[in-house]
Amino acid sequence: MMRARTLLESAWSRQLLLLAAALAITAALVALAGRSPLAAGQALWNGAFGSAWAFSNLWTKTIPLLVTGLAITVAFRAGFWNIGAEGQFMAGAIVAGSVGTWSHWPTIIHLPLVLVLAALAGAMLAWIPAWLRVSRGALEVISTIMLNFVMLYVLSWLVHGPLQETSGAQPIGNPVASSVALPRLFGGGTTLHAGLAIALSLVLFAHVLLERTETGFRIRMVGASPRACEWAGVPVARTVMRAAAISGGLAGLAGAIEVLGVLGRLFDKVSPGYGFTAIAVALLARLRPLALIPAALLFGALEAGGSRLQQDADVSQVLVLVIQGIVILATLVVGLAARGRE
């Protein structure tokens, strides 16, 4: 009896409960659309676990969600509402799809160069809304979303123009050089690539950064109580800008990893919305870097499974967005329940 109650009151079992609720509401929407929730569930399952390829695809989709999820985590912890991970992801992808195509460079120089430049590109893109907020009081929610749109068209212009493949046949970039292409981990046409190792190291980096360093402490403090920071002499503006830059850098890295590991070149649509899904991932993980791994796997499974929804259950893939929205709302309610007990 006691054990059941502690289980129910533990934060993580509440997360599971809210997931179940989210799935139930989603099933209701599928039924409302006149489709079978069971078939939709089966399609999702098959898309994620139905075959070796599907299972590797699940992990492949988890990588960008993990890294953009880290980006959101660092920003949200600082109270910087970065909704622009999608645009920052594109910035990193553009760097990888351009600098990454240079040939005759040794991997040991080329790969770090691409990754560092991609992180810088993402950081610079996140720095703009942070600066607008700090110096102009402009809501970063609006400015980051505007920058997403700007990047969408910048990317479209680049693949139709300056960065278009040499033959000019398709609106896509040239393939990245073999010196930077991330190797596939398994054979048989499966997609899981060495970017997983980078992603997991980044999780560790973010965990140490947030929990073990002074910068991390300041980031958490600024997020928890900016006013207390002013009293305690913590530079709020500088900390917010630093957190935003780290966040953008991580999202930029995610974009580069996706191009180097999965796409192999720049495309018009490099992301199906990883930067937005990352928000649900990060909130489900309660903004804890290590907890991002299961949360990203879950949404990676939904992303992989979603690819079968249309074909197997005649349900639009955007159903996954509904699950995201409900998960975010449910995390808020769970937080509220926790507040009520204090």
Coil, strand or helix at 184? strand
Task: Name the minimum Å distance from CB 141 to other proteins.
Answer: 5
Q: What number of H helices and E strands is found in the chain? A: 14, 0
- Residue number, 208 or 224, with CB nearest to other proteins: 224
- Residue number, 165 or 314, with CB nearest to other proteins: 314
Question: How many Cα atoms are found within 13 Å in the side-chain-facing hemisphere of 98?
Answer: 16
Task: Name the minimum Å distance from CB 24 to other proteins.
Answer: 15
Binding site for other proteins (CB under 8 A): 29-30, 32-35, 81, 83, 128, 132, 135-139, 141-143, 145-147, 149-150, 152-154, 156-157, 160-161, 276, 279-280, 283, 314-316, 318-326, 328-329, 332-333, 335-336
- DSSP-derived secondary structure letter, 287: T
CA distance 310 to 312: 6
Which residue spans within the chain are E strands per DSSP?
none
Q: Which residues contact 24 (CB under 8 A, 6 or more apart)?
A: none
- Residue number, 20 or 109, with CB nearest to other proteins: 20
- DSSP-derived secondary structure letter, 182: P
- Residue number, 23 or 29, with CB nearest to other proteins: 29
Query: Looking at this protein, which amino acid is placed at residue 55?
Result: F
DSSP bridge pairs for 193: 184
- Residue number, 59 or 276, with CB nearest to other proteins: 276
CA distance 313 to 317: 10
- Residue number, 140 or 258, with CB nearest to other proteins: 140
Task: Name the minimum Å distance from CB 212 to other proteins.
Answer: 26
b vs e for 102-135, b when ≥16 Cβ sit within 10 Å of the residue's Cβ?
Answer: eeebeeeebbebbbbbbbbbbbebbbbbbbbbbe
172: left (phi over 0), alpha (psi -120 to 50) or beta: beta
Q: What is the DSSP annotation of 292-313?
A: HHHHHHHHHHHHHHHHHIIIII
Task: Name the minimum Å distance from CB 201 to other proteins.
Answer: 28
- Residue number, 151 or 256, with CB nearest to other proteins: 151
Task: Name the minimum Å distance from CB 299 to other proteins.
Answer: 12
Task: Name the minimum Å distance from CB 252 to other proteins.
Answer: 19
Q: What is the DSSP annotation of 3-35?
A: HHHHHHHSHHHHHHHHHHHHHHHHHHHHHHTTS
Task: Name the minimum Å distance from CB 160 to other proteins.
Answer: 7
CA distance 157 to 163: 9
CA distance 12 to 203: 19
Task: Name the minimum Å distance from CB 154 to other proteins.
Answer: 7
- Residue number, 191 or 331, with CB nearest to other proteins: 331
